Amino acid sequence: MNAKIIDKYQIDIENIPVQVTIIKMERDPVAFYSISLLHISEATKIIIDKIKEEIINEVSFNLLSKTEAEDEEKIKKQFKEKVIGLMKEYFGNLDDESLNGLSNYVILTSLGLGDIEFLLKDSNLEEIVVNNSQENVWVYHRSHGWLKTDLIIDNENKIRHFATTIGRESGKGFSILEPLLDAHLKSGDRVNATLKPITTKGNTITIRKFAEKPWTITDFIRMKTIDYATAAFLWQAIQYELSMFIVGGTGSGKTSMLNVLANFLPPNQRVISIEDTRELQLPNTLHWIPMETRLPNPEGKGEVTMLDLMVNSLRMRPDRIIVGEIRRKREAEVLFEAIHTGHSVYATLHASDVNETIARLTNSPIDIPRALLSSLNLLVVQNRNRRTGLRRTFQIAEMLQDGNPRILRQLDVYKDVVEKINDSVSTTNVLRVHAGLSNEAAENDLEEKIAVLKWIASKGITDVHEIGLLMSDYYTDREYLMKKVEDG
């Protein structure tokens, strides 16, 4: 059967060079994700596995019996000393660099989540999935979608051990009586785990990775997630304090879009973000206070909910409020109350299009009166095509005075182009009344923003903090930035 290499790159993990190869087999619907250690022979790997077996049980037991972080670090330090001692015994002629690299490999794969640790270090991966001990581990790749890896966690008890360890570090129980786990790794990665027989094929672990490098508008434009005109329109809406909800299905890029749009916030306003899990990474030029909910302890005390933080945020003199996700009526009511009291609000919501968004907002469990919806300015709908894996901005709609939406732009899926559907009514009116922008001035402003976006993209600027600096220039010394843009 013919095999074609569709991607290949190297990642360095604790001074260990690892080769990632993505292979497409003929007539196989799913590509294959393979990792291999560079410069390590099969014979060396066999010896390394023997070293791991000699000491792993002792160290794992000691780690499980400790709760204090300093004790854990002490055990890991002792573990490394033992590993290096055995390495010297088996590989007497190794130089210090090779010795350190091999010992790092043993430590990495012996503690924590074993070989899954390599996957956690690949910044191109968004999701890592263990379905059971009989199947290969799956990953969701930023560029290639779902891939089957060459890793198998070959023991159900080992999967359970990994999940139990994660739960213990998060202060959560995981057992037959509590077979569902929702927790986080120290890196911020979100973990869900289940136990058999709840999942009938076996124990599972699903890890949604915390992006080391947040998406920026340059990334979105380069990947055709959004076009220049739509990006400029949303930037204008952010600048002039229009409130908006970003909606879409699971994995459609709602939070990523929220992060991208937050880059357009002005530096002289106070921004408060509220999330269940910290995912937003905003420019350090912003006056930003990130807040995170907290689950109750085993005694049921100490919980801090999304609603608690939303109510509290209104007492912190915010100019802009960003909310990770709206799920319940009271949360939505507080958000709309914030809009009515002069705050700009940005939030995400699960819905596949504009009409479904209105249905979700006006029916249980959110159940907001339609009359309230007119205080919201814009809906931004994100979509992920499950067949191709492509993420696109699907619809932009404004809310009219009667609480009904008016679609302004929509993706033509066949052409893969966002097309203008209607001229703006309410947004144009808000810009004219509250910002003093005539139609001509608003159009000129959009053209200027498109020029800035094209310049940023042409320079390949993808660092969130660098883009934050450029936005700071735009708001505080626009002539200076536009001269740079015009001069190229």
Residue 482 scores a pLDDT above 90:
yes
What pLDDT does 297 receive? 75
| Token output for 63 | 């780690």
What pLDDT does 72 receive? 61
Contact between residue 252 and residue 384 where contact means Cβ atoms under 8 Å apart: yes
Predicted confidence (pLDDT) per residue in 267-288, tens digit: 999 999 999 878 899 999 999 9
> What percent of the chain has pLDDT above 90?
62
Q: Any alpha helices (H) in 177-222, and if so which ranges? A: 217-222
pTM of the shown model: 0.81
Neighbours of 371 (CB within 10 A): 10
Nearest to 176 by CA among 144, 198, 152: 198
Give CA–CA dist 47/53, Å, rounded.
Answer: 10
Predicted confidence (pLDDT) per residue in 144-157, tens digit: 989 999 999 989 99
Give CA–CA dist 373/353, Å, rounded.
Answer: 16
Give CA–CA dist 106/256, Å, rounded.
Answer: 35
Give CA–CA dist 461/281, Å, rounded.
Answer: 16
What pLDDT does 170 receive? 78
Residue 315 has φ and ψ, to the nearest 5°, of -95, 5
Contact between residue 224 and residue 416 where contact means Cβ atoms under 8 Å apart: yes
Residue 57 scores a pLDDT above 70:
no
Nearest to 467 by CA among 234, 177, 261, 304: 261
Q: Could you tell me the strand order of the sheet in which 320-323 lies? A: 287-292, 270-275, 320-323, 344-350, 244-248, 378-384, 391-399, 405-412, 417-420
Q: How confident is the model at residue 36 (pLDDT cuts 50, 70, 90)?
A: confident
What pLDDT does 106 receive? 76
Residue 58 scores a pLDDT above 60:
no
Contacts with 275 (C-beta within 8 Å, 6 or more apart), sequence order: 290, 291, 292, 293, 323, 324
CA-CA-CA-CA dihedral for 92, 95, 96, 97, to nearest 10: -130
Contact between residue 190 and residue 210 where contact means Cβ atoms under 8 Å apart: yes
| DSSP letter, residue 294 | B
Residue 237 has φ and ψ, to the nearest 5°, of -65, -40
Position 249, amino acid: G
> What percent of the chain has pLDDT above 70?
94
Predicted confidence (pLDDT) per residue in 354-394, tens digit: 999 999 999 999 999 998 999 999 999 999 987 777 899 99
**Residue ranges of domains in the chain, CATH in brackets:** 3-208 (3.30.450.380), 217-487 (3.40.50.300)
Q: How confident is the model at residue 415 (pLDDT cuts 50, 70, 90)?
A: very high
Angle at 456 between CA 271 and CA 318, to 5 degrees: 5
Predicted confidence (pLDDT) per residue in 327-360, tens digit: 899 999 999 999 988 899 999 999 999 999 999 9
User: Which H or E element spans position 396?
Assistant: strand 391-399
What value does the CA radius of gyration of the chain take, rounded to a whole number of Å?
A: 25
What pLDDT does 471 receive? 96
Determine which of 31-45, 187-201, 310-324, 447-461 has the lowest per-residue pLDDT on average. Answer: 31-45
Residue 1 scores a pLDDT above 70:
no
| Token output for 7 | 């991607």
What rounded mean pLDDT belongs to the chain?
88
What pLDDT does 56 receive? 61
What pLDDT does 49 receive? 74
Structure-token match 């929509």, residue found = 410
Q: How confident is the model at residue 55 (pLDDT cuts 50, 70, 90)?
A: low
Predicted confidence (pLDDT) per residue in 68-107, tens digit: 555 666 766 777 777 777 777 777 676 777 777 777 777 7
